């Protein structure tokens, strides 16, 4: 049994250690090298993740969910739109509002990214049960943080 922090059988692993590891792993995941892949900044990725999961969302809801001030969000959104990664559609119920949708290029980009990450992570943890438990825990954390629980 190891005495390393968070690795002992009886000791509670601090939540900050998990958060630290999430950040570290995310920074170490290399982007795809496929020439069809459109690279995105971390902020753009945050916006795209939300739009992919909530197609037809409002700009305000997306801005709030990714915790970007509206001016910064607008700048990111304009850049994504220029690169054909997000489509703005006028809201039929409220002509002043827009709804956001991922484009076909954005869906292809996400598919390339997921395929790349599957190849990159293959063989590190091959137990499907472990992958499911970790994924479910991270999804609950993301949902709670997106909902503004902390």
Q: Helices 104-121 and 42-53: crossing angle, nearest 10°? A: 110
Q: Which of 143, 138, 52, 35 is nearest to 101 (CA)?
A: 52
- Report in angstroms the alpha-carbon separations of 13 from 1, 16, 19: 15, 8, 11
Asked if residues 53 and 107 have their Cβ atoms less than 8 Å apart, the reply is: no
- Locate 130 and state its tokens: 């472990």
What does the pLDDT read at residue 7?
52
The pair phi, psi for residue 123, each rounded to 5°, is 90, -10
Model confidence pLDDT, tens digit, residues 61-113: 999 988 899 889 999 999 999 999 999 998 888 777 889 999 999 999 999 99
pTM to 2 decimals?
0.79
* Reported confidence tier of residue 56, pLDDT bands at 50, 70, 90: very high
Model confidence pLDDT, tens digit, residues 15-52: 999 999 999 998 899 889 999 999 998 899 999 999 99
In this predicted structure, the answer to whether residue 57 has a pLDDT above a threshold of 80 is: yes
Dmax (CA) for the chain in angstroms is: 63
């Amino acid at each position: 049994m190891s005495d390393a922090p968070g690795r002992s059988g009886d000791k509670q692993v601090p939540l900050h250690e998990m958060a630290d590891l999430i950040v570290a792993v995310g920074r170490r995941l290399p982007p795809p090298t496929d020439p069809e892949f459109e690279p995105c900044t971390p902020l753009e990725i945050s916006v795209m993740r939300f739009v992919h999961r909530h197609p037809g969302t409002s700009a305000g809801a997306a801005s709030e969910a990714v915790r970007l001030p509206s001016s910064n969000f607008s700048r990111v959104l304009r850049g994504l739109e220029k690169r054909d990664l997000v489509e703005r559609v006028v809201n039929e119920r409220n002509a002043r509002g827009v709804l956001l949708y991922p484009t076909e290029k954005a869906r292809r980009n996400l598919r390339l990214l997921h395929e790349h990450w599957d190849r990159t992570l293959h063989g590190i943890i091959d137990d499907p049960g472990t992958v499911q438990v970790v994924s479910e825990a991270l999804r609950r954390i993301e949902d709670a943080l997106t909902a503004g629980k902390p």
